Structure 1
Amino acid sequence: MKNEADHEPAATVGASSVKPLPTVIHSLTSLRYLAAAWVLFFHFKEFFPETALQQSNLTRYGFLGVDFFFVLSGFVLAHVYLPKIRARRFDYWSFLVRRIGRIYPLHIVTLVFTIGISLIGIALGWNYTLWNLGAWTELESGAIIRALFANLTLIHAWGATPDLLFNLPSWSISAEWFAYLLFPVFVLFFSPLLNRPVLLTALCIVALVGLEAANGVATGNSLLQATWNLGALRIVPTFALGIALYRLGETRSLGARGSPIALAGAVIALIAATLLAAPYVVIVLCLAGIVFLAADMERHGGLALLCQPFPVLLGEISYSVYLWHFPIGVVAFDIMLAGRGDVGSLGGIAMIFGVLAFITLISWISYKFVEVPARAAIIAASQGMVQQNRAAGNS
């Protein structure tokens, strides 16, 4: 959903003889768009019931694209900030400002848009087949205030709301915020094992599998399907795994020949696991492997196609694609294309790609005129406050 690195330099461990990872790992940025598109297909397939598009595991498992983002966030944040922590140059306030500058402005814009379009729909008598954008208006006033407060403060994946409301996919942004707040805690907790990355990675995998199994026993549901209620917990093992995989990548590499073979194997394993309806945790582990292996391959000059400007740009705007796709998609399929008739699987795929293209265009505009300037303004304002405080302290 987000390019966590913000193009900041990252150092490597001087004691390691492994070729350093690139300062900016472009292939991981590009892969974000594919993950966002996978989530989009997961949602939009529901508009084409009783078709192969809806019934295929390739689309039914698309919600796990969110867990790809979670692993990737841990990996990239560790890439950027672990060297700063080692050098004792990590500024927690600056870190949080950059994170909030990255996720908050567009979250607010899409929240306001979703509320606004839902009110327009109520006024015009729109009929929805799947997701009623105005369902929140049927709640009691206290529940609406509670849900709105939770969304505004980014705690709506912490069990603070009665259900998914407003821009439904934004629950994952709340989960990301939870992980950002605890990032130094992750690093501190991992510190005894940071110099044993193989063991650390293995323990994170065990923790992910264990939490998934324990949640299944306790609730009868998969942790990897949690959203508003346990979304903040869902991100913990995957974000932690991303940090561990980065540390592994600092000290281990499969080399220029081994990494392409392993990456191809991970992609094949992901497709096979999806088609065979493997347990969700198996698919998430395949996704985590792709994160590690794509970074490893790029360090040796591979994945040149994903490092080209256009796919990288698509990755840059993937956060916008993710946040815009739900309200725009509901309006597109339920209102604008309501009389589509029975178009079948191929027709449904074509329509989804068409809506994806429109959302991508909107996302590029949003990225250029909302995300980038708002982030810059927040960072500049924060730096100004810090300078003022320093000046006041020295006076």
Structure 2
Amino acid sequence: MTAVAGPGGGRGTLYGIQYLRAVAALAVVFFHAAERSGHAFAIGAAGVDVFFVISGFIMWVIAERRPVTPGRFLKERMRRIVPVYWLATGVMVAGALAGLFPNLVLTAGHVAASLFFVPARSPSSGEIWPVLVQGWTLNYEMFFYAAFAACLFLPARLRLGVIAAAFGLLVAVGLAVSSDSPLLATYTRPIILEFVAGMLIGRLWLAGRVPGRAVALALVGLGLAGFAAIGILRLPFDEWTCGPLACLLVYGTAALETRGGVARLKVPALLGDASYSIYLWHTFAISVVAKLGAMAGAPPSLVLVGSAAAGIAAGLCAWHFVERPLLRGWVGNPRPASASASPRRSAGRPS
């Protein structure tokens, strides 16, 4: 659960942010389910943009309200992200060795790069993907965490400006230089600016610089309408279009948290808690159901709904039986204190 200190200094659960995490995770699930069933829901990949903005927001708020050393920050992030990801990657490797994934080509170098969040080209496709393809977003998350931890050595007043300047410079390099290097191609993409935008929203939120409820609702509505227009009209999109829309959603939702709060809804809150597990595990279930549906000659619409439901169920099971017990064992609390990574184009296809 996203529990952080609010503008007034008290701690509380940001249910609105939880619901955004749930929406982002479900968008990616339906994106992949649509791909496997012959439908089109490309805009679902933009759930990644929402996750990245949320990540910047939560990291900033937590660090400001609960000062932490760089080492402790990285340790907490590693505990939150790494074990479940390594387990999911291990399942992929075991499945490939058992012949369950005939198109997956394994090399020791690529597996090692995947486990340690180093961008590398997949021997299966040539794309900059890890063994568990959707894990490409975690390469960005871990890069952001490393940069954020480094900024914790600085005075608080300098942190946002320094990381914004550093990420802005990386993007400028990417725009000016064309390179086949996986590291350069990954960490100079404009998508990294979404973390900075989330941090800025966190700073504004903690300072109480948020609009009233009516404007906040309008911001959320505009963000949703923008994503809907892209999806319905099948317009091209990338981080330059989806990043600002994600910012509208997060800023508007954060403002609603301040202007009267957001009520707790059990199911959306649960999906928000489980969003990381849903993101990591949903493709396994979708692949199985899609293959069974094709073998049975099921209607594409039924395959879409069935595979999406299976993906969500798989994620919830992983949350209940794997992720939550791990978190309990480490922190004595089954509810994570911060937002985690998540998903984007295709089975994680960066564009």
User: Which structure has the greater CA radius of gyration?
Assistant: 1
**Residues 228-266 of structure 1: CA distance to partner in whole angstroms, max 9, x if unpaired?**
874444453111111011112223121133322332233
For the pair 1:243 / 2:207, whether they are aligned, the reply is: no
Any idea what SS the aligned residue of 2:294 has?
Answer: coil
1:366 to 318, 325, 332: 318
Which aligned pairs between 1:96-245 and structure 2 lie closer than 5 A?
96-120=74-98, 122=99, 133-137=101-105, 144-155=107-118, 157=119, 163=127, 164-186=129-151, 188=154, 191-192=157-158, 207=168, 211=171, 215=174, 218-219=177-178, 230-234=185-189, 235-245=191-201
The amino acid of 1:147's aligned partner reads H
**Residues 136-195 of structure 1: CA distance to partner in whole angstroms, max 9, x if unpaired?**
43x5xxxx111111122222x36798642421101112221111111134564983486x
The amino acid of 1:83's aligned partner reads R
- Deviation for aligned residue 1:352: 2.4
Task: Measure, in 1, the Cα distance between the counterparts of 2:6 and 2:35.
Answer: 45
1:65 to 40, 47, 70: 47
For the pair 1:81 / 2:63, whether they are aligned, the reply is: yes
For the Cα contact (< 8 Å) 1:324–1:363, is it kept in 2?
yes
Any idea what SS the aligned residue of 1:254 has?
Answer: coil
CA 1:47–1:160: 2 relative to 1, 3 Å: closer
Q: Which residue of 1 aligns with 2:257?
A: 298
- Structure 2 length normalisation: TM-score? 0.78
- Deviation for aligned residue 1:39: 1.6
Task: Measure, in 2, the Cα distance between the counterparts of 1:339 and 1:160.
Answer: 29
Task: Flag structure 2 segments of 5+ consecutive residues without an equivalent.
Answer: 333-351
Q: Which residue of 1 aligns with 2:293?
A: 337
The amino acid of 1:103's aligned partner reads I
CA 1:229–1:136: 2 relative to 1, 3 Å: farther
Task: Measure, in 2, the Cα distance between the counterparts of 1:254 and 1:109.
Answer: 42
CA 1:313–1:375: 2 relative to 1, 3 Å: same
The amino acid of 1:148's aligned partner reads V
Any idea what SS the aligned residue of 1:23 has?
Answer: strand
Q: Which residue of 1 aligns with 2:335?
A: none
Task: Measure, in 1, the Cα distance between the counterparts of 2:114 and 2:77.
Answer: 16
Task: Measure, in 2, the Cα distance between the counterparts of 1:159 and 1:183.
Answer: 26
**Residues 109-158 of structure 1: CA distance to partner in whole angstroms, max 9, x if unpaired?**
211222223333x2xxx6xxxxxx34343x5xxxx111111122222x36
For the Cα contact (< 8 Å) 1:329–1:355, is it kept in 2?
yes
Any idea what SS the aligned residue of 2:75 has?
Answer: helix
**Residues 4-59 of structure 1: CA distance to partner in whole angstroms, max 9, x if unpaired?**
x4x3x4264xxxxxx6796321111122122112122222322234xxx32xxxx1
For the Cα contact (< 8 Å) 1:267–1:290, is it kept in 2?
yes
Q: Which residue of 2 aligns with 1:391?
A: none
Q: Which moved more, 1:256-265 or 1:63-72?
A: 256-265
Any idea what SS the aligned residue of 2:13 has?
Answer: coil
Q: Which residue of 2 aligns with 1:352?
A: 304
Task: Flag structure 1 segments of 5+ consecutive residues without an equivalent.
Answer: 13-18, 127-132, 195-199, 381-395
Q: Which residue of 2 aligns with 1:44?
A: 33
Any idea what SS the aligned residue of 1:243 has?
Answer: helix
Q: Which residue of 2 aligns with 1:16?
A: none
Task: Measure, in 1, the Cα distance between the counterparts of 2:122 and 2:288.
Answer: 27
Q: Give the count of matched residue pairs.
A: 321
Task: Measure, in 2, the Cα distance between the counterparts of 1:95 and 1:73.
Answer: 14
Task: Measure, in 2, the Cα distance between the counterparts of 1:247 and 1:165.
Answer: 33
**Residues 50-109 of structure 1: CA distance to partner in whole angstroms, max 9, x if unpaired?**
xxx32xxxx11222211211111000111111233xxxx422222222211111121122
CA 1:169–1:30: 2 relative to 1, 3 Å: same
CA 1:299–1:159: 2 relative to 1, 3 Å: farther
Any idea what SS the aligned residue of 2:323 has?
Answer: helix
The amino acid of 2:308's aligned partner reads L
**Residues 339-385 of structure 1: CA distance to partner in whole angstroms, max 9, x if unpaired?**
24373xxx43x4323222223222222112211222343458xxxxx
Q: Please give the root-mean-square deviation of Cα atoms over the aligned residues, in Å.
A: 3.4
Task: Measure, in 2, the Cα distance between the counterparts of 1:282 and 1:44.
Answer: 23
The amino acid of 1:167's aligned partner reads L
